[in-house]
């Protein structure tokens, strides 16, 4: 509809705009029920709440549709027995200092999103930027709801390999779904000397492995959490890519950095 009114030049520009339209939901996922979404607005008087509702008039289908994008990035098929079945997802917008977080576990999961962060992301009144940011944050938090949890490799609170898997995968899914720039030279990718920093540092590394080593890498890496009795980054890489020295995590990290010119 919008495109009809644009000149060819403007349409080409729009195509390369990083605030692009969301990726397609694959046909096989369209009828999948990702869980009932219970939306709550705890700060309706805030500016961020007004902005949110203006841009996302109907939050429930918006959240459910983005959940399908996360699911198709983590799993091959709705029939996969490993997919955690969520009964309800409580989604709350609320005024607090922070961005967003997932809480709860099992089939009782909640996500909070800060109205202050909405206000911050809407500086410049750029509707597409706010949608891009809101969806990106949602991809990250929904990954936490649907990802598998690796076994016998510490706990979230120790900031070690388990934590790094959880947060690295969440940002890898966000990159793969296009809500961080898919360009390794972009400012979205933080520079770091070890994958152990988690989040985007590990996320871009995992995304590179998907582009360069195995097109199903993220799904296989996620599944390794269910398949390995004692999980580690090194064991999981070799499990997915083959048990050879060049598939050890440190060797791959080195190869990745060299390939992006670092």
- Contact residues for Zn ion (CB under 5 A)? 167, 170
The 3-class SS string of 103-160 reads EEECCEEEEEEEHHHHHHHCCCCCHHHHHHHHHHHHHHHHHHHHCCCCCCCCCHHHCC
Of 78 and 84, the one with the shorter C-beta distance to Zn ion is 84
Do residues 89 and 145 touch, judged by C-beta distance below 8 A? yes
Do residues 218 and 169 touch, judged by C-beta distance below 8 A? yes
Of 26 and 101, the one with the shorter C-beta distance to Zn ion is 101
- Report the length, in residues, of the chain: 262
CB 169 → Zn ion: shortest distance, Å?
9
Residue nearest to Zn ion (CB): 170
Task: From residue 106, give the alpha-carbon distance in Å to each of 30, 41, 101, 221.
Answer: 23, 23, 16, 20
CB 158 → Zn ion: shortest distance, Å?
15
CB 137 → Zn ion: shortest distance, Å?
10
The 3-class SS string of 182-208 reads CCCCCCCCCCCCCHHHCHHHHHHHHHH
Of 178 and 198, the one with the shorter C-beta distance to Zn ion is 198
Buried b / exposed e along 115-131 (16+ C-beta atoms within 10 A): bbbbbebbeeeeeeebb
Of 131 and 167, the one with the shorter C-beta distance to Zn ion is 167
Of 170 and 235, the one with the shorter C-beta distance to Zn ion is 170
Q: CA-to-CA distance for 52 and 122, rounded, in angstroms?
A: 10
CB 240 → Zn ion: shortest distance, Å?
22
Sheet with 36-41: list strands edge to edge. 36-41, 88-94, 108-114, 100-105
CB 53 → Zn ion: shortest distance, Å?
25
CB 234 → Zn ion: shortest distance, Å?
22
**What does DSSP say about strands 88-94 and 108-114: parallel, antiparallel, or unpaired?**
parallel
Of 9 and 106, the one with the shorter C-beta distance to Zn ion is 106
CB 191 → Zn ion: shortest distance, Å?
20
Of 119 and 167, the one with the shorter C-beta distance to Zn ion is 167
């Amino acid at each position: 509809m919008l495109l009809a009114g644009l000149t060819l030049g403007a349409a080409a520009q729009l195509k390369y705009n990083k605030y692009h339209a969301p990726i397609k939901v694959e046909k096989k996922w369209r009828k999948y029920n990702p869980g009932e979404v219970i939306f709550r607005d705890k700060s309706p008087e805030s500016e961020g709440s007004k902005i949110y509702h203006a841009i996302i008039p109907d939050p429930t289908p918006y959240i459910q549709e983005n959940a399908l994008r996360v699911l198709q990035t983590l799993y091959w098929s709705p029939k996969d027995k490993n997919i955690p079945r969520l009964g309800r997802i409580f989604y709350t917008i609320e005024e607090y200092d922070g961005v967003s977080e997932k809480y709860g576990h099992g089939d009782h999961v909640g996500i909070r999103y800060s109205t202050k962060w909405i206000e911050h992301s809407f500086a410049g009144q750029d509707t597409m930027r706010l949608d891009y940011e809101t969806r990106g944050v949602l991809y990250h938090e929904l990954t936490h709801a649907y990802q598998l949890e690796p076994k016998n490799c510490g706990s979230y609170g120790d900031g070690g390999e388990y934590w790094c898997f959880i947060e690295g995968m969440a940002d890898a899914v966000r990159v793969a779904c296009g809500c961080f720039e898919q360009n390794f030279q972009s400012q979205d990718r933080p520079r770091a000397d070890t994958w152990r920093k988690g989040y985007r540092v590990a996320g871009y590394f995992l995304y590179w492995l998907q582009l360069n080593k195995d097109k199903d890498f993220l799904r296989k890496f996620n599944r390794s959490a269910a398949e390995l009795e004692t999980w580690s980054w090194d064991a999981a890489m070799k499990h997915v890519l083959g048990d050879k020295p060049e598939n050890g995590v440190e060797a791959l990290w080195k190869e990745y950095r060299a390939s992006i010119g670092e």
